[in-house]
C-alpha cells in the first residue's frame, strides 16, 4: 500500500519553523546533506546538525541525538537511511518534536513506511519523501524543474479541502 503524501499545508508548516535539526548530515562539505544545511542556514534557518559520529559540522556543534539538543528544535529533517529513520522518529517522539520531514530525492531516501506509520499514530506531522528545495522560494532552476515535473505527473503535494494538514 503506498504511503499517503503530505499536504502542501503540512510542508508549508514545516518550512515555517525556524529551528530545525538536520539528522544525517555528512562531514563532507560536498555532500547533498551539507548543501541542504548550507542553503537552509543561508535562508535564515537555525539548523542544528545531528550526527553521532562527529561533534562539529561546519563550525556548529553537532549532536548525537535529537533529544540531546537544548533548547529543543521545532522540526527535524531526516537525511538518513530508512533503517535509521525508524530509530530517529522514536527519538523525535521522546523529545516532543511534532514535525518530521523524511527527505527523498531519488530512490527511497529516508522514507520508511514503518516510521511514517509511527509518526501518524502519535500525531507527528510527517512529510514522507520530498526534497525541501522544491518548496523554497527562488530555488535553483534544477529544483524548480523537479517541482514542475512532479506537478505534471501528479506527484506534487496538493492543498487539502478546507486547508487541513495531513
Q: If we measure between CA atoms, which residue out of 2, 66, 65, 62 comes closest to residue 27?
A: 62
Contact 110, 80 (CB under 8 A): yes
pLDDT for the residue 101: 95
Instruction: Specify the pLDDT at position 166.
Output: 52
- pLDDT of res. 83: 93
**Full set of structural domains in the chain with CATH:** 8-155 (3.40.50.720)
143: CB partners within 8 A, 6+ apart: 131, 133, 134, 136
- How far apart, in Å, do the first and last CA atoms of the chain sit? 17
For the packed helices 113-121 and 82-95, what is the interaxial angle rounded to 10 degrees?
A: 20
List pLDDT tens digits, range 36-45.
999 999 999 9
Q: What is the pLDDT of residue 131?
A: 83
Sites in the chain below the pLDDT cut of 70: 1-2, 105-107, 137, 139-158, 161-166
Cβ neighbours of residue 4 closer than 8 Å, sequence gap 6 or more: 128, 166
The pLDDT of residue 76 is 98
DSSP string, 79-101: -S-HHHHHHHHHHHHHHT--EEE
Residue 17 grid coordinates: 519553523
Per the CB < 8 A criterion, the answer to whether 39 and 158 are in contact is no
| pLDDT tens per residue across span 106-144 | 667 899 999 999 999 999 999 998 888 877 767 655 555
What distance lies between CA 108 and its chain's CA centroid? 14
Q: How confident is the model at residue 104, as a pLDDT?
A: 81
Amino acid at each position: 500500500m503506498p504511503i499517503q503524501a503530505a499536504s502542501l499545508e503540512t510542508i508549508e508548516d514545516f518550512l515555517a519553523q525556524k529551528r530545525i535539526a538536520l539528522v544525517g548530515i555528512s562531514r563532507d562539505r560536498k555532500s547533498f546533506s551539507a548543501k541542504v544545511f548550507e542553503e537552509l542556514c543561508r535562508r535564515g534557518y537555525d539548523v542544528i546538525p545531528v550526527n553521532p559520529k562527529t561533534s562539529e559540522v561546519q563550525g556548529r556543534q553537532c549532536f548525537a541525538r535529537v533529544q540531546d539538543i537544548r533548547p529543543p528544535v521545532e522540526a527535524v529533517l531526516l537525511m538518513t537511511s530508512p533503517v535509521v529513520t525508524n530509530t530517529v522518529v522514536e527519538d523525535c517522539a521522546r523529545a516532543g518534536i511534532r514535525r518530521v520531514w523524511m527527505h527523498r530525492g531519488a530512490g527511497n531516501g529516508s522514507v520508511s513506511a514503518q516510521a511514517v506509520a509511527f509518526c501518524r499514530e502519535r500525531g507527528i506531522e510527517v512529510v514522507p519523501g520530498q526534497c525541501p528545495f522544491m518548496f523554497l522560494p527562488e530555488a535553483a532552476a534544477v529544483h524548480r524543474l523537479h517541482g514542475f515535473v512532479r506537478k505534471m505527473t501528479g506527484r506534487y503535494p496538493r492543498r487539502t479541502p478546507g486547508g487541513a494538514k495531513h
